Structure 1
Amino acid sequence: MTPFGEKLRALRAERNLSLKQMAEGLGVSSAYLSAVEHGHRSRPNRRFVHRVCQYLNIIWDDAEELQSLANLSHPRVTVDTAGLSPQATVLANRLSDEISRYDNETIERLLAVMDDAAST
């Protein structure tokens, strides 16, 4: 599941909408909406996020948050390390190979390290 899919499912549950009801309201199939929620489709585009926001009456900061989550929700990431150090290539390859074995606590720690590095 992607961050966008998780949020979309939570919003749907908060509003007591079935998958079928929401899919009809968005003009998509239930199968498509389910695939988006589970991260089996590519990252949702701005147009789809806008339709979700309109359908659910989401505005301002909440709409920006939903778009940000969509931007972070590509389920099949490609990392281009061309021109970077050999260590960067090792990091990208190890993360690709090992991420499925990490529990959420480990992932949170890695994200915290990356956040710290980005702020310096």
Structure 2
Amino acid sequence: MTPFGARLRELRTQRGVTLKDLAAALQVSAAYLSALEHGRRGRPSAGLVHQVNEYFGLIWDDAEDLNRLARESHPRAVLDTAGLAPEVTELANRLAREIRHVTPAAAAQIAAVLDRLPKARR
């Protein structure tokens, strides 16, 4: 499941909206929305995210958060370490091998370390 998919499902559940009803309102298939929710489809288009924001009446911070989640929801991320230090390439490869074993708590710890990197390096 992707971050966008998890939030979409949460919004639907909170408001009692079925997948079929949301799909009809957005003029997409229920299968497509299901694939988005389960991470079997990549990032949704900006247009679809806008439609979801409008459908659920999300504004300001909530709408921007959904946009951010959509940008961070590519289920098959690719890392390019060409020209970087060998240690960075080694880390990227190790993370690729071990990603299926990373728990949500461990992911939060890794994210916290990344958040402390100097901004010039981001």
| TM-score (norm: length of structure 2) | 0.93
Deviation track 1:19-49 (CA, whole Å, cap 9, x = no partner) reads: 1111111111110000001111011121110
Q: Percent identity?
A: 51
Aligned length: 120
Could you tell me which runs of 5 or more consecutive residues in structure 2 were left unpaired when the two chains were aligned.
Answer: none
Q: Which residue of 2 aligns with 1:95?
A: 95
Deviation (angstroms), 1:60: 1.7
Q: Which residue of 2 aligns with 1:20?
A: 20
Deviation (angstroms), 1:51: 0.9
**Compared CA separation, residues 82 and 45, structure 1 to 2 (3 A):** same
Deviation (angstroms), 1:73: 0.7
Q: Which residue of 1 aligns with 2:48?
A: 48
Deviation (angstroms), 1:61: 1.5
- Which residue identity lines up with residue 8 of structure 1 in the other structure? L
Q: Which residue of 1 aligns with 2:86?
A: 86
Q: Which residue of 2 aligns with 1:39?
A: 39
| TM-score (norm: length of structure 1) | 0.94
Off by >3 Å, runs of 4+ in structure 1: none
Instruction: Return the alpha-carbon distance in structure 1 between the equivalents of residues 118 and 41 of structure 2.
Output: 29
User: Alignment RMSD, CA only?
Assistant: 1.3
Deviation (angstroms), 1:118: 4.4
Could you tell me which runs of 5 or more consecutive residues in structure 1 were left unpaired when the two chains were aligned.
Answer: none
Instruction: Return the alpha-carbon distance in structure 1 between the equivalents of residues 30 and 68 of structure 2.
Output: 24
